[in-house]
Amino acid sequence: MVLAMARTRPTRAEDVRRRPKDRKAQIARASAEAFSALGYYGVSMETIAKRVGISAAALYRHYSSKYELFRDAVLNLGQQLVDCTAFADESAGDPELTLRQLVSALIDTSMANRESGGLYRWEGRYLRGDDQAMLIAQMRTVHHRIQRPLMAIRPELTSRQRWTLSTSALSVIGSIVDHRAKLPAIQVRALLADLADAVLAAELPDAASSLVEDRPRPATVTETPKYEALLNESMRLFNLKGYRDTSMEDIATAVGMPASGIYRYFSGKSDILAAAFRRAADRLSAELSAIVATVSDPEEALTAVIDAYVTRSFDRPELDYVYYTERLNMTPGDQKILRNLQRANVESWVELVVSVRPDWTPGQARFAVHAAMSLVIDLGRLMRYENSAATRAVVERLLDLTLLRRYRLRAALPAK
């Protein structure tokens, strides 16, 4: 009898496997990575349960719904940024040291969450009501902690300039979650710290009083072909309402045609999304090739590429944002094609950067290029893509610092 009981009693290993003490933490990590990789709508409770190695029923004992899991995953990432910078509230010492310590803490947290950090950047829009307000409050707290020592170091900065600089620092640090380029961790930390220091020290022109004037845009008198109109209006609606909440009928109404007419051009929304991104990537590639072919000086070519990229992004702001928020709605085949196109364009930038910055390896230049592209998106969103020469010049100047580590000559943009 005793022998039989001994045989049925779970072993220590089985007991640990059955009831691990860190089960909640395992679920949190698995859900954050799943939502970041697959998007909110691409994840089910079964997906997360499988990643953790438990049944869906066991998962429901911890969380009542997918949204509850998602909310906790997003807000946990935001809270980590709040927690790692909390020391700054008690810091009364050297503001330059505090700022460096803040940058270091944010880099460490971003690197620790590289597989899931994109979640709060690109999927946080799915939070509801008070949860959305909580994420906004978390990020505002982090911004204020960066801006406090910045004000002590640079009291002449306006509120708009402080927000521009804190957004820039968080953008270059957070850019590592948007790509999978590799470098030794020690090099990544050093590079991100260097880039954050550069943008935080930027001398920004006053966008409201810049001497740069916008050139009048020629009036468009030709009617846009239906194919182009479908691409343009679809991306505008995906940006405004989200891919899932935009119907084929919405797109048809915006273009002025019956919904059935769209199927003469595209098989569905996913096909429209892929076509729009492929076209944008092709045009970017052609633009890069034209600049490289006609501008022999590497630095002049790189600055021309920067200006063209910023101009294109402010002309069509929905392209970049929709790419990061909705690309998972394309087929795996289309996603792979687009990744290859994007990788080729990044490598064209890398070649130019290395020729201008021989102190960098291609790997370091690659991280810097991704940081520059992240800056365009994050600063564009901060500035509500106010498409003026003055706001574009602020973004271009920050990209100059990120990729050149110096200002180019801009006679019409006096630094403050």
Same structural domain, 141 and 238: no
**Mean pLDDT throughout 44-52?**
94
341 Cβ contact list (under 8 Å, min separation 6): 278, 281, 282, 285
Domain C-terminal end among 132, 153, 174? 153
Q: Please indicate, yes or no, if residue 340 is contained in any of the structural domains.
A: yes
Contact present, 400 and 306 (Cβ < 8 Å) = yes
- Mean pLDDT score, 259-268: 94
pLDDT band at 207 (very low <50, low <70, confident <90, very high): low
Structure tokens at 75: 């807000």
Question: What percent of the chain has pLDDT above 90?
Answer: 75
Q: How far apart are CA 268 and CA 182, in angstroms?
A: 36
- Its pTM stands at 0.87
How does residue 93 score in pLDDT terms, banded at 50, 70 and 90? confident
Q: What is the mean pLDDT of the chain?
A: 88
Q: Per the domain annotation, does 189 fall within a domain?
A: no
pLDDT score at 415: 41
Query: Does 70 map to a domain?
Result: yes
Residue 320's pLDDT is: 85
Q: What is the pLDDT of residue 9?
A: 52
Question: Tokens 């022109």 identify what position?
Answer: 205
Helix 298-315 × helix 389-404 angle, to 10°: 140
Over residues 264-296, the pLDDT tens digits come to 999 999 999 999 999 999 999 999 999 999 999
Check residue 11 and give its pLDDT.
52
Q: Picking from 21-25, 298-302, 369-373, 396-400, which range would have the lowest pLDDT averaged per residue?
A: 21-25
Burial of 41 (0-12, 13-18, 19+ CB in 10 A): middle
Same domain, 390 and 267: yes
Q: How many domains does the chain have?
A: 2
Distance CA 232, CA 86 (A): 44
What whole-number distance in Å separates Cα of residue 262 and Cα of residue 269?
10
Residues 147, 235: one domain? no
Residue 168 lies in a domain: no
pLDDT the model gives residue 205: 78
- 234 with 140, same domain: the answer is no
Q: Is the pLDDT of residue 304 over 50?
A: yes
Confidence band, pLDDT 50/70/90 cuts, at residue 66 = very high
Percent of the chain with pLDDT over 70: 89
* Whole-Å CA distances, 306 to 199, 206, 209, 232, 239: 16, 20, 22, 24, 24
410 located within any domain: no
Q: Are residues 141 and 249 in the same domain?
A: no
In this structure, the answer to whether residues 123 and 235 fall within a common structural domain is: no
> Is the pLDDT score of 346 beyond 60?
yes
- Least confident segment among 2-16, 279-293, 383-397: 2-16
**Residue 220 above 70 pLDDT?**
no
Confidence (pLDDT) at 136: 96
CATH number, domain of 51, equals 1.10.357.10
pLDDT score of 408: 77
- Domain boundaries, position 32: 23-153
Separation between Cα atoms, residue 190 and residue 212, nearest integer Å: 35
CA distances from 9 to 2, 3, 18, 319, 416 (A): 11, 10, 13, 60, 75
Q: Taking 90 as the threshold, does the pLDDT of residue 307 lie above it?
A: yes
Domain-terminating residue out of 153, 173, 194? 153
Calculate mean pLDDT across residues 19-39.
Answer: 85
In a domain, 109, yes or no: yes
Structural domain includes residue 188: no
What confidence tier does 5 reach under pLDDT thresholds 50, 70, 90? very low
Of 137, 153, 169, the one marking the end of a domain is 153
pLDDT attached to residue 409: 59
| Cβ–Cβ < 8 Å for 301, 355 | no
Query: Higher model confidence: residue 410 or residue 149?
Result: 149
Token duo for residue 155: 């009291």
**pLDDT classification of 120: cutoffs 50, 70, 90:** confident
Tokens of 293: 């072919």
- The answer to whether residue 253 is domain-embedded is yes
